[in-house]
Amino acid sequence: MNYFNYQNDQLFCEEVPVAEIAREVGTPFYLYSHRTLRNHFRVFDAAFAEVPHIVCYSVKANSNTAILRLFIREGSGVDLVSGGELYRAIKAGVDVGKVVYSGVGKRKDEIDSALKAGILMFNVESDQELETINDRAAMLGVRAGIALRVNPDVDPETHPHISTGLRENKFGIDIEASLVAYRRASSLAHLDIKGVSCHIGSQVTKTSPFIDALGRLKDLIRRLREEGIAIRYLDLGGGLGIAYDQETPPHPAEYARAIIDASKDLDCTFILEPGRVIVGNAGILVTRVLYTKRNDGKRFFIVDAGMNDLIRPSLYGAFHQIQPVLRRAREEITADVVGPICESGDFLAKGRALPVFEQEELMAVMSAGAYGFTMSSNYNSRPRIPEILVRDDRWYIIRKRETCEDLTRGEEIPDFMNT
């Protein structure tokens, strides 16, 4: 459930008209519902209430510190993939004992920062990374909690760019080879083996791939325990999908039930890394129609948001529902929604049946709370857009719109060019 609804044919976020915010802050902007964010987190967390678990929200989905603070106040930990995300999480007040650090390319300085912070564990993705973490921990005089991210070779049946659990993907250690890696890890003095980790992909809309992966992980855990390697945590990653168009992903309660039923007597604390399922439908992108255009019979709505603001349609061919902020009787046509970026790949929708929009009208791009702002850029020297959070009948700017001055911050012209 989300709290973007029409009242008297005006689109509202909770109790605030979207058009009111647009008048104050301009367009485009990202808009999030506090009530939706909080409720989605609580529903997911409650689904696993009967088993020991830690929800570690996946920061990469939406990393605004206000949103991180919201989840942390609800008891969430975090799943990180960079030193910058660790910085954000600490700034937002995370309990470092609920932090897991994933990602295939951790730098030494990032590893050091996480070790000094005292995070729960690293999800290790290669033999060389294992050695590096042990070396850095030795230099700092600490022991590093680790899990090996194993690759179960399970097809998540999602877009190939966000599939991560197949043998051909860059992530993790092959599950058959992981026993050798665990034996090596047990011989390294500055590593504390805590768990097994797995992440099969993103926007997964069936429970069966998760259950297939879990079956293989259970067998690995049994074999590790037989060798005297104690496994206390099982990190199942994230990846549960949402409805963008016609998808019918399982409800978190259904997902949790399947996981719990398939893992009886496992005696592990589960770590879950939800991202999209929590924030995806809790946010929208609000944009304004700059121009309408025909090219040889083809119709275009040219808007002020582009692929630099929301790259998912260009990158993945992703579908985002598009709605008018002011609802009224309209003709329906087939059109492209395109932005101002100097690329033919700059679109938010292609060949879509849409209501006719007029110049200057507001358009809402739905389900944009995940992988929206976090994947945005300054391409074409366009300042990044603001993020707004609504709580009940009030709204808050949680990220200011960038200025042109921000675009050149940090740049310097060498002295020899000034003479």
Q: What would the 3-class secondary structure string for 133-180 be?
A: HHHHHHHHCCCEEEEEEEECCCCCCCCHHHECCCCCCCCCEECCCHHH
In a domain, 412, yes or no: no
Q: What's the DSSP call for residue 93? A: T
In 3D space, the residue among 120, 59, 54 whose CA is nearest the CA of residue 85 turns out to be 59
Q: For residues 78 and 138, state if they share a domain.
A: yes
Lowest mean pLDDT among 137-141, 212-216, 338-342: 212-216
The pTM for the full model equals 0.94
Confidence band, pLDDT 50/70/90 cuts, at residue 163: very low
pLDDT at 57 over 90: yes
pLDDT of 157: 52
**286 within some domain:** yes
Contact 397, 21 (CB under 8 A): no
Q: Could you tell me the pLDDT band of residue 160, with boundaries at 50, 70 and 90?
A: very low
Last residue of a domain, one of 224, 255, 276: 276
| 3 state DSSP class of 57 | strand
Q: For the domain that residue 90 is a member of, what is the CATH number?
A: 3.20.20.10
pLDDT for the residue numbered 154: 72
pLDDT tier, 165 (very low <50, low <70, confident <90, very high otherwise): very low
Same domain, 122 and 268: yes
Q: Is residue 417 part of a domain?
A: no
Q: What domain range includes position 285? A: 4-32+280-407
pLDDT confidence band for 21 (50 / 70 / 90) = very high
Supply the residues annotated as catalytic.
342
One domain, residues 85 and 224: yes
Q: Are residues 202 and 351 in the same domain?
A: no
Per-residue pLDDT, 147: 97
Average pLDDT over residues 3-23: 98
Q: Look over the chain and give the mean of its residue pLDDT values, rounded to a whole number.
A: 93
Of the residues 251, 276, 301, the one at which a domain ends: 276
User: What phi and psi, each to the nearest 5 degrees, are found at residue 26?
Assistant: 80, 175
Confidence of residue 86 (pLDDT cuts 50, 70, 90): very high
Contact (CB, 8 A) for 308 and 341: yes
Q: What is the mean pLDDT of residues 11-29?
A: 98
Same domain, 162 and 96: yes
Structural domains counted in the chain: 2
131 and 184 co-located in one domain: yes
Q: 167 pLDDT exceeds 70?
A: no
Question: pLDDT tens digit string along 354-413?
Answer: 999 999 999 999 999 999 999 999 999 999 999 999 999 999 999 999 999 999 999 999
Q: What is the C-alpha to C-alpha distance for residues 375 and 363, in angstroms, rounded to an integer?
A: 21
